[in-house]
Chains A and B, each alone.
Chain A
Amino acid sequence: MTTSLFDLFKIIFGIIASIMILIFVLRYAGDFKSFQETSQEIKIVDNFKKAAEDVYLTGDPQTFYDFSRIKSNLSFSGLEDPPKIYFKSGNTPIFTPILFSPSKELLITKAFLNYGWWDFATAVAVPQTVIIFTPLELGQENLDIMKSITDIFQSSIGYSPNISFGLCNGRDIEIFSDGFELTNSLSQQNRFEKCTARLQDGFKLVTISANCDAGFVTKGVCIRPSHTFIAGSQSQYVYKDPLDLAFLIIGNDKKDVFGVTEGEKLYKYKNKIYSQSLFIAAKIQAERLSLISFELEKIKTETEKLASELEETECRGIYNEISNQIYISLSYLTNNADSAKENTEEAKKLYDEIKSKNCIRLPSDIENKFTCAAFGFAEFRSVSEKISALAKQDYFDAVVADELKQNLELSKQLYQQYKNMGCD
C-alpha cells in the first residue's frame, strides 16, 4: 500500500516538476530567441547606418542587401528629433542626412548641392526604381527640370539595384538606363499625353506641366516651375533645388494611415535638415568674414604705427593716408559694401605707390589682403547673414524660398569671384 502511494506521488511529482521545468525552459528559449532576433535587427540596421555614413562621406556608391534578413517591415521617420529608423522591436536614431525608402535590397549613393562655400549632401538609399516622366510641354524649362532630376541619380548607373528613367506617353512607357538616353529620345518626340499606363512597383510617375495643380494628376507627382503637387494631396510644395524634387518623387503619393503622403514627409524632413545645416554654415561664414575685417583693423593699426615711427617724409604721409582709407572702409563694412570697396581700393592704390617709392615695410601679403577686401567681402558677409536668418525656419513658403534661392545663387557667385582672386 505504502509502495503504491509512493508510486502515485512519484508520478504526480514528476509530472508537476516536468511541466514547471518545461514551461521555464520554453519561456526562456522564447525570450532568448526574441533577444537574438532583436540583436540581429539592431546589428543589421547599425550596419546600414554605417554604410550610409560611408557613402555620405566618401561618395562611393554601395549596395545593401541585409534588410532581406529582417522579417518585419522597416520604416523611416525623418520628422522626429532626431530622425529614426523603426524596426519590429525598437528604433535607432540616424544623423546622416538620408533620402531613405526602406526595402529588402537598396543602392546607397550620394547626392549634393554645391554652393561653393557650402555643400549640402545627402545619402540616397533607394530600391530598384524607375522614374517615369511625362512632360506635357516640351519647353526648355521643363527639360531643365528633368535634367536636374536625372543628374541627382546619375551615380546609380551600373549598379543593381539602380535608378533608371522612362517616358510615359498615354498608355506607352519607354525605359532608358540613364539620363542621356532619355534626353536623346525626348528630342525625337513632339507631344505627350497624360500617363494612363499601368505602373509597376517601383515606378514613380512625374508629370511636368505649367497646368499642374491640386487634382491635376491622379498618380505620382506633378511639377510646374517653382511648385510641386502630389496626387491625392491638396498641398503644394515649393521647390528651391533639385533635391526638393528628388525627395518628393521618391516619397511619391503613397499614404500612411493618417492620409499623409510619403512625399510630403520626406520633403519636410529634407527641408528640416537643410535649414539646420545651412543656418550653421552661413552663420560660421558670416562670422569668419567678420574676422577678416578684424584683420583689416590690424593692418590699420600697423600702418598707423609705421607712420608715427617715421620722420616727416613722403612715406609717412602715404602710410597715414592708407590708415585713413582703411578706417573709412571699416566704418562702411556692415552697412555700405560699395563704399567699403571703394576705400579699400584706394588703400590698395596707395600701397602700390608705397612700393614704387621704396618705402615699404608692411607685411608681404598685405596686397592680397587689400585685394580681397576691395573685392567686397562685406557683401558676401551680408549675404551670409541674410541666408542664416532665412535658414532659421524649417518651412519655406514661396516668397522665403525665392529669397533664399536668390541669396544662395548670389553667395555662390561671390564665392567664386572671391576664390578666383585667391582670397579663400
Chain B
Amino acid sequence: MPDQTLYNNCRSEMKGQGNIVEYALLVFFIVIIIFVLIVFITGFQLFQIDTEAQKQSLDRTLSLSKQFMVSGYFTNKDSVFDDAKLTAATGLACSDFEKTFGSSWFLEVRTLDNKSQKECSMENYPDCNYWKICVKNNPKNISYIFPVNVFSKTDDMVSLASLKVGIYR
C-alpha cells in the first residue's frame, strides 16, 4: 500500500510538471507566432519603404527630366535644346546648378549624327556632339533616356539627340 501511495504521489507530481511544460510550450509557441508575425509585418513595411524609395528616385528622375526639357538654362523658348547654351552650361560649376535642382543628378545630351562622340567645351564648339553636366564617376545610378531636339545656331539646324537624365544613389 505505501508503494501504491508513493506511486500515486509521484504520478501526480509528474502530471503537474507535465502540465507546466505544456503551458510553457504553449506560451513559447504563442510568442514565436507573435514574433513571426512582427517579423513578417516589419519585413513588409521595410519592403514598402524600399519600393517607395525606388519610386521616389524614379519620380525625381522624371521630374528633373521635365524641368531640364523646359529650363531656359538649356533650351530656347520652344523647349528645343540650344547647343550654345548647353556648351556654355558645361563651363559652369555643378554646385551652381545643384542650388537650383538639388544634388546627385546628371544630364547628358548626345546628338544622333553617326559621328564618334566628342565632348563639347567652349574651345571646340561647334565641332562636337556630346554635352555632360554634373556627371560623376559613379556607376550606381538610375536614369531615363528621351529623344530630344538640339538647335545649332551655327548651322541653323535642328538635330535629333538623346537626353539622358539620372540620379546617383
Contact = CB atoms under 8 A, between A and B. Distances in A.
Interface string A13-54: 100010001001100100010010001000000100010010
A265 to B, nearest CB: 18
A261 B168 CA distance: 38
Nearest to B154: A295
A365 B102 CA distance: 40
Interface string B17-36: 00110010001001100100
B125 A13 contact: no
B31 A119 contact: no
A302 to B, nearest CB: 12
Contacts of B154: 295, 298
Chain A interface SS verdict (over half): helix
Interface residues of A, number: 46
A358 to B, nearest CB: 24
B107 interface: no
B102 A82 contact: yes
Given A53-B63, A119-B72, A287-B88, A280 B97 contact: yes
Given A280-B73, A283-B92, A13 B102 contact: no
B72 A281 contact: yes
Given A53-B63, A277-B100, A291 B45 contact: no
B20 A9 contact: yes
B169 interface: no
- Chain B interface residue bracket vs A: 35 or more
Contact of A276 (B52, B76, B88, B99): B99
A118 B72 contact: yes
Given A13-B23, A17-B27, A280-B73, A291 B102 contact: no
B160 to A, nearest CB: 21
A24 B39 CA distance: 13
A81 B99 CA distance: 8
A28 B38 contact: yes
Contacts of B96: 276, 279-280, 283
Interface string B101-139: 110000000000000000000100110000000000000
A281 B73 contact: yes
A57 B66 contact: yes
B147 interface: no
| In the A-B complex, the 6 residue pairs with the closest CB atoms | A287-B88, A288-B84, A284-B88, A276-B99, A6-B16, A291-B84
A6 B67 contact: no
B33 to A, nearest CB: 10
14 contacts: A2-B16, A3-B12, A10-B19, A50-B59, A53-B66, A57-B66, A82-B102, A95-B101, A283-B88, A284-B85, A287-B88, A287-B122, A288-B85, A291-B125
Contacts of A283: 88, 92, 96
A294 B125 contact: yes
B12 A2 contact: yes
Interface in A194-222: none
Contacts of A288: 82, 84-85, 87-88
B34 A21 contact: yes
Contacts of B70: 57
Contact of A284 (B34, B41, B89, B102): B89
Contacts of A50: 59, 63
Interface string A46-80: 10001001000100000000000000000000000
